[in-house]
Every structure is written in C-alpha cells, then in structure tokens.
C-alpha cells in the first residue's frame, strides 16, 4: 500500500498519464487475484465495494422489488437481516428458515419455502457467531432447478474455505477484505454471475463512456461509480496473493485443526459452554470455520472479554456480534457470547495460551461461587 501511494498516485481509469495507468493496473491485478481465488470465469464479474455490507446491499437492493419474495436463514448477520427487514416494510415477502442450535440449515426447508414469486435466496456461507458452514452447493442446486437467484455471504469464508462460484452454481457472492483475505478494512466486493443484472446502488463517474450521461451497461463499471479505494485494493490484492500462494486447502486444514483443538479444549473446562455443532449422529464432522463462541458460568461475556484482554493479552469480541437472529437461534440472546477468531497467523501456542487463560478464569469463578 505504501508503494502504491508512492508509485501509483493517480486516479485509476480517469487519465492516460503513467500514474493513472499504474493505479489502474493495481486495481486490475486485485480483481484478477480475487477472481482466481473464487473461481470466477472472468475478473470483470468481480465488483469492488467498500465492504461486505455494501456488497450485500448492492445484491439485495439490485434484485428485489415490491411483490417479490426472498428466503433467508435465522443465522444471518445484520448486513443481510436489516436490508431484508427494510424491504419487507416496502412490500417484499420475506421467509426466514429457522435452524437448530447447531446453526445448519436444511436445504429441503429452503426449497419448500420457495414460491412462484421467489426471486432470491440469501444465505451466509459460515456463521460469524459459531462458525457453522452451510450446505451452499445443495441450496444452489435447488435454486437453479427453480430459477431463483442465490446470494452467498462469504465474509467469514473467503480466503480460509474453498470457494468455486462456477462449480457451486452461486449467482452472487459477497466478500470482505479485512478478514481471511488479509486485506485492509474498507475493501470488499461482489461476484456477479454472467447474465445476472442488478440495479446499481450508485450512479456516476466510472472513467468509461464519459460521453454518455447514462450509467454504462457493462461490468464492473455498471456497479462501480466514483474513485475506488485503489490503495486499499493494493493491500487486498497483496493479501489475496498470500492466500493463493499458501493454498486455501492448506490454510483450511491448518485452521480446522486449530479450531478443533480450541473447541475440544474449551469443552473440557468445567463451567464453560461452547456453542455450535458437534459431530452429527453418523459420526461425520460438521464443517466449521475458525470461529468459536463460548460462555463462562457466572461471568458476563463482557467481563470475560475484559479479563482476557487486560490480564492475558487475548483479544476477542463479546456480545451479539451484529447477529441477533443467530443468538436467538442458539439461545444466547440477549446476553451474547465470547467469540474467539482464529486466523492465518494463529498458532498452536496461541490456542494453548487461550485454554490456559480460560481454565484459570473458570477455576477462579468456581472459587468465587463457593464463597
């Protein structure tokens, strides 16, 4: 990003001088990297936004209008829930498929909820609260069979879980740069399958077809107005490059192993409740990403988070995690949980340190209860 500011300080696509051309190359390289990562057939199908929330709003508002029907799940982040609730107040029909406490949706329930006017299914790829990975391929198949568009919120999976939008049959996929893509905050985007048309959220300068006073009708320009955050996109492109070099399958395997050690270790501590799926009744491992939520008996999540930070140097997030639907589903509303997030740089030593810290806190809570 520093090099980008020093060597490519022009406005990408807005001029023909060398700094503008270099800035445009930065954006192009980032777009190509993301397309390669998610299996997009053409990098022009990758539209950059400021974050996953903007991408989700672009997809939802770009598809739905009064009289249409949309299906979602009870595990969604507010970035999906709030736009849908607003559109429901404007005449869009909304069905929310409830899951059990494990947070995994039944694809059959999604299919059964479809109506003739169903236009969109919007679903998280993995819960930002408990990490449960949803069966997106099965839901995508049901959508294709009925001519319904399928939007996937991949904020929690892009970069740490294999994604192939073409093979999976995903029509729209939102992602953020600041999590497992190793990019800076303020970056994100939306994959748009060829043939899917969205109404733009914004209209304005694109650097292309400047002779027209109408928005261009081709991607990505149709959905990208205004000067892009090309410095942030330089960081996003570099982060995606690291992910591609490391290999998503390898990253997934390493993170999965650490997450299982963390979950199993927390479950073994007396007084700790861990939320999320166990292995299913057939002994198969339910897929999860490196997000672990727990509570400690007799201690508020906010207090747990404060002690972990101030006394052990462990940074976590507490509360409802912008996902009240999910917390109602798993039975932790309105208290919330303590959420630990593993990432690219997490180690086995980190997991051991956290388990030791929580173990000490649990022991202290038990002593306090006896007093």
How many other CB atoms sit within 10 Å of the CB of residue 323? 27
Beta bridge partners of 112: none
**What is the Cβ-side half-sphere exposure of residue 235, based on CA atoms within 13 angstroms?**
18
Q: Tell me, yes or no, if 322 is annotated catalytic.
A: yes
∠ CA 182-183-189 to the nearest 5 degrees? 115
Contacts of 78 by beta carbon, 8 Å cutoff, 6+ apart? 322, 323, 324
Chain centroid offset of residue 183 CA:
14
First to last CA, the chain: 55
The residue annotated as part of the active site, out of 4, 143, 160, 322, is 322
Phi and psi at 57, nearest 5°, equal -65, -40
User: Which helix (H) or strand (E) is 303 found in, with range?
Assistant: helix 301-312
Cα dihedral 278, 176, 87, 122 in deg (nearest 10): -40
Record the tokens describing residue 200, joined without a space: 């733009």
∠ CA 165-62-32 to the nearest 5 degrees? 40
Active site residues: 322
């Amino acid at each position: 990003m520093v090099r980008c500011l020093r060597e490519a300080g022009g406005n990408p696509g807005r001029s023909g001088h060398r700094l503008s051309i270099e800035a445009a190359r930065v954006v192009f390289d980032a777009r190509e990297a993301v397309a390669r990562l998610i299996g997009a057939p053409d990098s022009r199908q990758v539209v950059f936004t400021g974050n996953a929330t903007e991408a989700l709003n672009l997809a939802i508002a770009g598809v739905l209008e009064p009289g249409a029907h949309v299906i979602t799940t009870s595990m969604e982040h507010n970035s999906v829930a709030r736009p849908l609730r607003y559109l429901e107040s404007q005449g869009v029909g909304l069905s929310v498929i409830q899951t059990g406490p494990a947070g995994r949706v039944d694809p059959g329930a999604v299919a059964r909820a479809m109506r003739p006017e169903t236009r969109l299914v919007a679903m998280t790829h993995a819960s930002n609260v408990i990490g449960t990975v949803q069966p997106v391929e099965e839901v995508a198949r049901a959508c294709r069979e009925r001519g319904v568009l399928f939007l996937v919120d991949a904020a929690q999976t892009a970069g740490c879980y294999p994604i192939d939008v073409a093979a999976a049959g995903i029509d729209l996929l939102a992602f953020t740069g600041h999590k497992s893509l190793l990019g800076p905050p303020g970056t994100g985007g939306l994959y748009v399958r060829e043939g899917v048309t969205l109404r733009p959220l914004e209209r304005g300068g694109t650097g292309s077809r400047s002779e027209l006073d109408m928005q261009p009708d081709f991607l990505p320009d149709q959905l990208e107005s205004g000067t892009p955050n090309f410095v942030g996109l330089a960081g996003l492109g570099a982060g995606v490059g690291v992910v591609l070099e490391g290999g998503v399958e390898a990253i997934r395997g390493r993170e999965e192993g650490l997450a299982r050690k963390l979950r199993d270790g927390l479950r073994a501590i007396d007084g700790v409740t861990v939320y999320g799926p166990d292995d299913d009744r057939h002994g198969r491992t339910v897929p999860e990403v490196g997000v672990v939520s727990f509570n400690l008996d007799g201690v508020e999540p906010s207090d747990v988070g404060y002690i972990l930070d101030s006394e052990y140097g462990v940074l976590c997030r507490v509360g409802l995690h912008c996902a009240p639907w999910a917390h109602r589903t798993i039975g932790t509303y309105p208290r919330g949980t303590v959420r630990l997030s593993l990432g690219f740089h997490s180690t086995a030593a980190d997991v051991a340190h956290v388990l030791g810290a929580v173990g000490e806190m649990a022991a202290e809570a038990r002593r306090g209860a006896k007093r």
